[in-house]
A and B are shown apart, each in its own frame.
Chain A
Amino acid sequence: DAKTTQPPSMDCAEGRAANLPCNHSTISGNEYVYWYRQIHSQGPQYIIHGLKNNETNEMASLIITEDRKSSTLILPHATLRDTAVYYCIVRVDSNYQLIWGAGTKLIIKP
């Protein structure tokens, strides 16, 4: 079973920052937090991952709380093309498989 909890859906206005929360209260010290998204009818797409420090790349920022029990994915300027299901996944490096939950359906509104 997935070790994360996410809200089932969220709305965000186009051009605003989308903040997607994820709870992973049972995370272990050697487990990474990964974010993927799936745009309708496409394969999942890697977004970002982190262990304990905040991370940023060209797509998004990942903020992990100090106790590592929760994290937030930030899309700084959401566009309509960011409408997708976003998955937060906790994974140990020694175990390659990704365990998927239901994710958050993010709808960007014009």
Chain B
Amino acid sequence: EAGVTQFPSHSVIEKGQTVTLRCDPISGHDNLYWYRRVMGKEIKFLLHFVKESKQDESGMPNNRFLAERTGGTYSTLKVQPAELEDSGVYFCASSRLYYEQYFGPGTRLTVT
């Protein structure tokens, strides 16, 4: 069984540009989550999808962040326009039920 995959693994963009991160969950996992760790801080929850619906987006920092999950399969997280403080590692996770979440390797985003 393939694990959670994320693309790209690294992204370096300039302030004001747009970046789109992609997450492919484990097949059959209806629940998909986004988390991030900014430099020196703890991992923080961003949002949770159940299939294509946003179940909880309480952790989204502001309206520069837009997450979608069309068709209930892969998800994208767009940052537009990117700011310096958006730099960090963005993790995606998926789960079948509400027990263990399986994490991807993360996307390291650097905004210069």
Q: Is the CB of B35 within 8 A of A98?
A: yes
Q: Is the CB of A96 within 8 A of B56?
A: yes
Point out the residues of chain A lying under 8 angstroms from B35, CB to CB.
Answer: 98, 100
Closest CB-CB distance, A45 to chain B, in whole Å?
A: 7
Could you say which of B12-20, B61-69, B71-79, B96-104 contacts chain A? B96-104
Point out the residues of chain B lying under 8 angstroms from A76, CB to CB.
Answer: none
Point out the residues of chain B lying under 8 angstroms from A96, CB to CB.
Answer: 31, 33, 48, 55-56, 95, 98
- C-alpha spacing A34/B100, complex, angstroms: 8
- C-alpha spacing A98/B99, complex, angstroms: 11
Given A46-B102, A49-B100, A97:B33 Cβ within 8 A: yes
Q: Is A93 an interface residue when CB atoms closer than 8 A count as contact?
A: yes
B42, B48, B59 — most chain A CB neighbours (10 Å): B42
Q: Is the CB of A43 within 8 A of B103?
A: yes
Q: How large is the interface on A (under 10, 10 to 19, 20 to 34, 35 or more residues)?
A: 10 to 19
Q: Is A17 an interface residue when CB atoms closer than 8 A count as contact?
A: no
Q: Is the CB of A98 within 8 A of B45?
A: yes
CB contact between A49 and one of B42, B44, B99, B104 (< 8 Å): that residue: B99
B interface residues, tally (CB under 8 Å): 25
Q: Is the CB of A100 within 8 A of B100?
A: no
Q: Could you list 28 examples of A-B contacts with CB < 8 Å? A: A34-B100, A42-B105, A43-B4, A43-B93, A43-B103, A43-B105, A43-B106, A44-B43, A44-B91, A44-B103, A45-B103, A46-B102, A93-B98, A96-B31, A96-B33, A96-B55, A96-B56, A97-B56, A98-B43, A98-B45, A98-B101, A99-B45, A100-B35, A100-B42, A100-B43, A100-B44, A101-B42, A102-B42
Known pairs A95-B56, A96-B98, A97-B48. 14 more at Cβ < 8 A?
Answer: A42-B106, A43-B93, A43-B104, A44-B91, A44-B103, A49-B99, A96-B55, A96-B95, A97-B56, A98-B45, A98-B101, A99-B45, A100-B42, A100-B44
Q: Which residues of A contact B (CB under 8 A)?
A: 2, 34, 42-46, 49, 93, 95-102
